[in-house]
């Protein structure tokens, strides 16, 4: 008896869902027309909340700025209006796929993102099944592009970044022992920690590894452990949220060894947390402010003119490397659309393999796994007096 | 001496965080004692207190912002009770607990909306946030202040409960809810008072906690909230000294566990402790015998 | 209605539903959010019903669902990742210690069994506790399980705290519907059996139930283990749906969501849980998404307040209102059935008839 009730219930739920679906999803095919001009949609799959919300917003800003500068593109001899379809993946591996599915259902031709490797890996299959290519902007974990043909990436990878950081620690601080703190369940954090450890032990160093749970805000014990272990550097490739807490508590505990981290720390969140404190912070990153004066001035002006943009950038006009990367990613997508001569995702995917672009963060071209050919990283140091980044070195791997 | 400087930071961090848990745990234990309700929203009120100070400190001086934060937090606690728990007073215990989960969900989502999902930097409080050195270990002054302030507040609270009329009413209500009503105790004002005291202490706890750990995120209250509840159970639910001692034990153990390198289990340990105590001695360290627990 | 007639009704409705789904899949674009919602909704329906079996029918307030789903999901993933992909999945652990893969349906059942086995062990101590103490203890166990699965010493088996991926998944929306459908049917059969009546007796009055000769400990354990078995299976399905899994997904927030689904559907109603899980998923994933869009216009009116996160605020206010003012949920303890529907219409007609008669009389 109840079984039948159940079936009926499901039917009702189904029918109502279908009806709502017909009403709701009037997206039309890729490259639809709206108000005369043809439209091509680019999906932006970025976190706007959660751990990586701050970084995701900055990355999105780069894309929005690029979109405001170049709002149209020539595809197959016709002018298309470019529309950014932005969703929030909440920095969460289980919310991400649904956000990705909503991009798929709005018929985007290509997807940009995400900040954070875990969410990119988690949504990868959704894009793959829909046949939509994705361009990773700053997801540095190798697993994002490995073994698939639809995910590309314009940044360097963690094995490279980890080696650069290990070399830097070894050469500049003559570090013999490193304390590595990573976050459980964060692929970026675990991955970069792992590659750093490999490279660092390869150089004859010693490491102490510890992890923290999501939602942890008490880092005093970790800092004490690092001190007790006699570490020469404190390596913490973690989200900016945890980083701000670590910096604050490291300075309160009087930790004197340098704090080192990867690209996530290149953010004004870190600068604000470190300002006026007695800490040394070194990060590797994709772009150094001042690398391209035209871009720097343009985006600063744009950010200062728009209160929402400024708030999304953390309240000031410091240029995060991820913003520059987001900017470049947008143009790579446009190049792919032009080369494809169509808004069909499959054609764009095909075209992406051969796209080359000279962006503000350097030359971009893809290798056979879909990764950008990058061989340099910038090393920066936080200036706790001026609240800005000081350029330290351009580092490659020999 | 060397051993002390190496290990003192763990202990101090433990005592300090224990004091902060204690202030939250009192709210749990008092509410549970009277209403038999696990107030899941308590941890989120703690988070809300943090956010209120973040925002108010940007527009007004600290000496106004801090009292305002406490008043607003107490107001939220009072409102939550009136809106979400009072209408369910006669409903089954499960409904009221679900309502508490609903409030917690709502507060977290509101915070998510207001903050845009980003971690908010807690302002540095003059004097309290300063760095000091004890036995060769540097730490924030708040680490030392917390246990002292906690103990002072607890003593005051115990006095209030022992010697005032409202305190007597609270004790009566927690002993037997129905009978105390028959005896002419205005149960609604007793419950409101319980929530006011509980959230007041949570507001202070939040102030101390976030001065130490300066990031406020929408979900930051969930873990300290659960741990404080465990502390309350550990100490024996309904017992204020029990909750305080339980909180200190949990805070210290948690930091020792991190110190010996079992960081993955620092949260899980708290729950393991909870299960052990529930099975071995369900009334907790200082709890009174109660029939409906097991 | 005779028993045979009911059977015919049931079978034809199920067939009609499956045909409808099949047709939909042919005609709708595969990227539509509808399928996302249907897939996830079917999976959540199963776990909600399994929770309802415990909370609604046996009166055991357990909050361990996320933990059991984790066990099911991990068992499924660990057992089905193809041997050639293990090297890249378990990249930090030299390919892990398991080097075989079993077919997906077997792995799903294995997931259920592992969850059930853990439930049996956990149940030994905690089922002696009552109401909210049981709730908090099971919640604690779920958290402990999550921590254990993230432990890097178990890495060769669980891949530490990293993502598990590359396991077989489903494409068609029919798959989760069929699996969930079979499981829910089994639960319904259990509820209607002698055991189900014993469960309800325990829920209504433990002491009376014991006096009637029901073995409390045995029946409680049975309900707990069976509920966990199905939670495990739904965990496996969730892994298939998500395509990647990780221990950090299975937080207590997930259990709360499932609990809210059960409450909204009506505690003690299987059909209620199913309906509300589809509604819940559709609202949270799809229908309310427009609320997050800052540039939402009705005509030329720029709707204020809208920005990322607003959807969740609206959603939680709706849930709060349900909990406070509509405590019975959508279905209460009733079930949705053809008879009830017929009865409803008959009543409606009769009332109309009476009214007309009354009007005529005047």
Mean pLDDT of A157-173: 92
Condensed to tens digits (0 to 9), the pLDDT of residues A367-379 reads: 988 999 888 889 9
Q: How many CB atoms lie within 10 A of CB B91?
A: 14
- What is the phi/psi pair of residue A167, to 5°? -60, -45
pLDDT above 50: residue A281: yes
Q: Which residues neighbour B115 within 8 Å (Cβ) at sequence distance 6 or greater? A: B51, B216, B217, B218
pLDDT tens-digit readout, A301-337: 999 998 888 888 888 888 889 999 999 999 999 999 9
pLDDT score recorded for residue A14 = 46
Quickly tell me which residue has 């979109």 as its tokens.
Answer: A67
pLDDT in tens, C303-355: 777 777 788 888 899 889 888 888 788 887 777 776 666 777 777 777 666 55
Chains contacting chain B through 3 or more C-beta pairs under 8 A: A, C
pLDDT value of position B291: 43
Q: Which range is least confidently modeled, B94-98, C109-113, C259-263?
A: B94-98
Q: What chain B residue is nearest to A213 in terms of C-alpha separation? A: B264
Long-range contacts (CB closer than 8 Å, 24 or more residues apart) made by C292-301: C292/A88
Interacting residues of B275 by C-beta distance below 8 A, sequence separation 6+: C125, C126, C137, C140, C141
Q: Determine the pLDDT at residue A26.
A: 36
Closest CA of chain C from B48, distance in Å: 15
Work out the pLDDT band at A36, boundaries 50, 70, 90.
Answer: low
pLDDT given for residue A3 in this prediction = 45
Residue A12 has pLDDT above 60, yes or no: no
pLDDT value for A31: 47
The reply to whether residue C140 touches residue B98, judged by beta carbons under 8 angstroms, is no
- Paired tokens of C24: 């939909």
Share of chain B residues as helix, strand and coil, in percent rounded to the nearest 5: 75, 5, 20
- Written as six digits, the tokens of B35 are 């209403």
> Quick one: average pLDDT of C25-39?
84
For residue C321, give how far its alpha carbon lies from the nearest alpha carbon of chain B (Å).
Answer: 9
**Distance in angstroms between the alpha carbons of the first and the last residue of chain B:** 48
- Residue A5 or A231, more confident: A231
C-alpha dist (Å) from residue B57 to A130, B63, B108, B127, B209: 48, 9, 21, 16, 16
> Sign (positive/negative) of CA torsion A68, A69, A74, A79?
positive
pLDDT at C48 over 90: yes
For residue A91, give the chain B residue with the closest CA: B117
User: Does any CB of chain B come closer than 8 Å to the CB of residue C130?
Assistant: yes
Q: Which candidate in B264, B267, B281, B290 is best for mutational testing of the C interface (most C CBs within 10 A)?
A: B264
Which residues fall within 8 angstroms of residue B293, CB to CB, at 6 or more apart? B282, B283, C129, C130, C133
Mean pLDDT score across all residues of chain B: 88
Among the ranges given (A8-17, A355-364, C70-79, C104-113), the one the predictor scored with the smallest mean pLDDT: A8-17
Distance from CA of A20 to the nearest CA of B (A): 25
Percent of chain C with pLDDT over 90: 44
Residues 88-107, chain B, touching C (beta carbon < 8 A): 88, 91, 93-95, 97-99, 101-106
CB contact under 8 A, C313 and B110: yes
Question: What does the alpha-carbon distance between residue B136 and residue B132 come to, in Å, rounded to a whole number?
Answer: 10
Residues B192-236: tens digit of each pLDDT: 999 999 999 999 999 999 998 888 998 899 889 989 999 998 888
Would you say residue C192 has pLDDT above 60? Answer: yes
Residues of C whose CB is below 8 A from A88: 292, 308
pLDDT number for residue C8: 82
Shortest alpha-carbon distance between residue C180 and chain B (Å): 26
- Gap from C228 CA to chain A (nearest CA, Å): 21
Closest CA to C88 of C156, C166, C158, C168: C166
Q: Which chains touch C (3 or more CB pairs under 8 A)?
A: A, B
Instruction: Give the burial class of B183: count Cβ atoms within 10 A of its Cβ; 0-12 exposed, 13-18 middle, 19 or more buried.
Output: exposed
Mean residue pLDDT of chain A comes to 86
pLDDT for residue C329: 81
In chain A, residues with a C-beta closer than 8 Å to the C-beta of B137 are 253
| Confidence band, pLDDT 50/70/90 cuts, at residue B290 | low
Q: How confident is the model at residue A91 (pLDDT cuts 50, 70, 90)?
A: confident
pLDDT over 70 (residue A107): yes
Nearest to A220 among B13, B121, B219 (CB): B13
Helix (H, G, I), strand (E, B), or coil: what is residue A210?
strand
Mean pLDDT, chain C, integer: 87
Look at residue C351 in the predicted model and tell me its pLDDT: 66
Q: Closest Cα of chain B to A139: distance in Å?
A: 20
Of A151-155, A339-343, B92-96, B289-293, the one with minimum mean pLDDT is B289-293
What residue in C sits closest to B115 (Cα-Cα)?
A: C309
pLDDT at A35 over 90: no
B220-278 pLDDT per residue, tens: 998 899 899 999 988 888 888 999 999 999 999 999 998 887 888 888 889 999 889 88
3-state secondary structure of C290: helix
A50 and chain B in contact, CB less than 8 A: yes
Model pTM score: 0.89
Q: Which of residues 183 through 222 in chain B touch A, CB cutoff 8 A? A: 212-215, 217, 219-220, 222
Quick check: C131 contacting A, CB < 8 Å?
no
Residues A40/A73, Cβ–Cβ less than 8 Å: yes
Residue with tokens 């590595």: A180
Lowest mean pLDDT of A10-14, B288-292, C67-71, name the range: A10-14
| Neighbors of chain A with 3 or more C-beta pairs under 8 Å | B, C
Q: What is the mean pLDDT of residues A77-89?
A: 90
To the nearest whole percent, how much of chain B has pLDDT over 70? 97
Looking at the predicted structure, is the pLDDT value of residue A6 above 50?
Answer: no
More confident position, B293 or A268: A268
Torsion sign (Cα): C302, C303, C306, C312 = negative
The confidence band for A21, taking pLDDT boundaries of 50, 70 and 90, is: very low
Which of C126, C136, C144 minimises the CB distance to B268? C144
């Amino acid at each position: 008896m109840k079984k039948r009730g159940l079936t009926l219930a499901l039917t009702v739920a189904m029918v109502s869902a279908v009806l709502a679906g017909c009403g709701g999803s009037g997206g039309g095919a890729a490259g639809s027309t709206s108000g005369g001009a043809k439209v091509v949609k680019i999906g932006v799959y970025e976190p706007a909340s959660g751990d990586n919300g701050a970084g995701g917003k900055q990355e999105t800003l780069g894309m929005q700025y690029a979109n405001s500068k170049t709002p149209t593109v020539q595809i197959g001899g016709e002018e298309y209006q470019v529309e950014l379809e932005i969703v929030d993946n909440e920095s969460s591996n289980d919310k991400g796929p649904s956000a990705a599915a909503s991009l798929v259902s709005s018929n985007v031709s290509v997807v940009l993102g995400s900040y954070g490797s875990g969410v990119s890996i988690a949504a990868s299959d959704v894009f793959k099944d829909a046949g939509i290519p994705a361009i990773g902007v700053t997801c540095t974990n190798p697993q994002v592009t490995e073994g698939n043909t639809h995910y590309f990436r314009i940044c360097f990878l963690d094995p490279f970044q980890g080696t650069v950081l290990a070399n830097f620690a070894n050469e500049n601080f003559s570090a013999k022992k490193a304390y590595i703190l990573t976050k459980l369940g964060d692929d970026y954090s675990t991955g970069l920690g792992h590659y750093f450890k490999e490279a660092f032990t390869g150089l004859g160093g010693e490491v102490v590894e510890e992890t923290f749970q999501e939602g942890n805000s008490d880092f005093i014990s970790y800092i004490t452990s690092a001190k007790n272990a006699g570490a020469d550097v404190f390596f913490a490739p973690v989200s900016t949220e945890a980083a701000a807490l670590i910096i604050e508590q490291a300075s309160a505990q009087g930790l004197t060894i340098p704090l080192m981290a990867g690209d996530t720390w290149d953010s004004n969140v870190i600068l604000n947390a470190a300002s006026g404190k007695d800490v040394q912070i070194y990060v590797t990153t994709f772009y150094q402010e001042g690398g391209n004066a035209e871009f720097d001035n343009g985006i600063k002006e744009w950010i200062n003119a728009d209160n929402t943009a400024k708030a999304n950038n953390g309240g000031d006009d410091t240029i995060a490397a991820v913003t520059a990367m987001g900017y470049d990613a947008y143009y790579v997508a446009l190049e792919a659309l032009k080369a494809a001569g169509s808004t069909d995702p499959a054609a764009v995917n095909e075209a992406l393999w051969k796209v080359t672009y000279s962006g503000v963060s350097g030359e971009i071209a893809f290798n056979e796994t879909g990764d950008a050919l990058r061989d340099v990283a910038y090393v920066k140091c936080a200036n706790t007096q001026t609240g800005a980044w000081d350029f330290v070195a351009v580092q490659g791997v020999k | 001496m060397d051993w002390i400087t190496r290990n003192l930071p763990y202990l101090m961090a433990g005592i300090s965080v224990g004091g902060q848990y204690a202030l939250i745990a009192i709210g749990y234990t008092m509410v549970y004692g009277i209403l038999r309700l696990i107030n899941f929203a308590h941890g989120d009120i703690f988070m809300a207190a943090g956010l209120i100070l973040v925002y108010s400190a940007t527009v007004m001086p600290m000496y106004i912002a801090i009292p305002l934060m406490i008043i607003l937090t107490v107001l939220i606690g009072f409102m939550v009770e009136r809106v979400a728990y009072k209408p369910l007073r006669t409903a089954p215990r499960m409904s009221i607990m679900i309502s508490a989960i609903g409030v917690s969900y709502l507060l977290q989502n509101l915070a998510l909306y207001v903050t845009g999902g980003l971690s908010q930097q807690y302002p540095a409080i003059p004097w309290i946030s300063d760095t000091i050195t004890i036995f060769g270990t540097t730490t924030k002054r708040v680490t030392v202040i917390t246990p002292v302030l906690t103990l002072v507040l607890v003593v005051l609270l115990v006095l209030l409960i022992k010697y005032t009329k409202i305190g007597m009413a609270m004790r009566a209500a927690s002993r037997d809810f129905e009978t105390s009503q028959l005896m002419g105790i205005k149960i609604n004002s007793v419950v409101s008072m319980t929530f006011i005291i509980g959230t007041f202490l949570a507001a202070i706890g939040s102030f101390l906690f976030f001065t130490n750990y300066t990031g406020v995120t929408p979900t930051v209250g969930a873990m300290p909230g659960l741990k404080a509840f465990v502390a309350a159970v550990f100490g024996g639910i309904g017992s204020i000294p029990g909750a305080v001692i339980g909180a200190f034990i949990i805070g210290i153990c948690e930091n020792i566990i991190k110190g010996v390198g079992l960081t993955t289990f620092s949260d899980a340990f708290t729950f393991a402790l909870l299960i052990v105590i529930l099975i071995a001695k369900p009334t907790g360290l200082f709890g009174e015998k109660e029939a409906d627990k097991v | 209605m005779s028993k045979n007639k009911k059977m015919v009704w049931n079978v034809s409705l199920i067939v009609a539903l499956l045909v409808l789904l099949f047709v939909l899949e042919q005609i709708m674009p595969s990227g539509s959010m509808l399928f996302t919602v249907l897939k996830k909704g079917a999976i959540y329906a199963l776990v909600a019903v399994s929770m309802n079996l415990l909370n609604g029918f046996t009166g055991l307030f357990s909050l361990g669902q996320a933990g059991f789903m984790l066990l099911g999901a991990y068992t499924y993933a660990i057992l089905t990742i193809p041997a050639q992909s293990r090297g890249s999945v378990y990249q930090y652990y030299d390919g892990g210690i398991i080097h075989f893969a079993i077919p997906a349906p077997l792995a799903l059942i294995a997931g259920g069994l592992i969850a059930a086995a853990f439930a049996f062990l956990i149940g030994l101590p905690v089922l002696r506790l009552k109401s909210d103490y049981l709730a908090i203890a099971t919640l604690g166990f779920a958290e402990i399980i999550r921590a254990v699965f993230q432990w890097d010493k178990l890495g060769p088996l669980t891949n530490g705290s990293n993502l598990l991926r590359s396991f077989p998944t489903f494409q068609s929306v029919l798959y989760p519907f069929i699996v969930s459908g079979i499981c829910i049917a089994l639960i319904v059969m259990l509820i209607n059996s002698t055991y189900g009546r014993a469960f309800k007796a325990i829920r209504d009055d433990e002491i009376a139930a014991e006096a009637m000769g029901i073995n409390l400990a045995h029946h409680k354990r049975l309900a707990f283990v069976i509920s966990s078995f199905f939670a495990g299976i739904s965990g496996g399905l969730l892994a298939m749906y998500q395509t990647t899994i990780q221990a950090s997904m299975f937080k207590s927030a997930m259990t709360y969501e499932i609990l809210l689904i059960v409450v909204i559907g009506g505690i003690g109603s299987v059909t209620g849980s199913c309906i509300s899980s589809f509604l819940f998923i559709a609202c949270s994933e799809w229908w309310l998404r427009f609320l997050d869009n800052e540039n939402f216009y009705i005509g030329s009116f720029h709707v204020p307040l809208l920005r990322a996160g607003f959807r969740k605020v609206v959603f939680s206010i709706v849930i709060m209102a349900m909990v406070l003012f509509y405590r019975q949920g959508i279905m209460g303890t009733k079930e949705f059935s053809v008879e009830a529907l017929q009865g409803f219409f008959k009543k409606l007609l009769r009332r109309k008839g009476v009214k007309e008669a009354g009007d005529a009389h005047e």
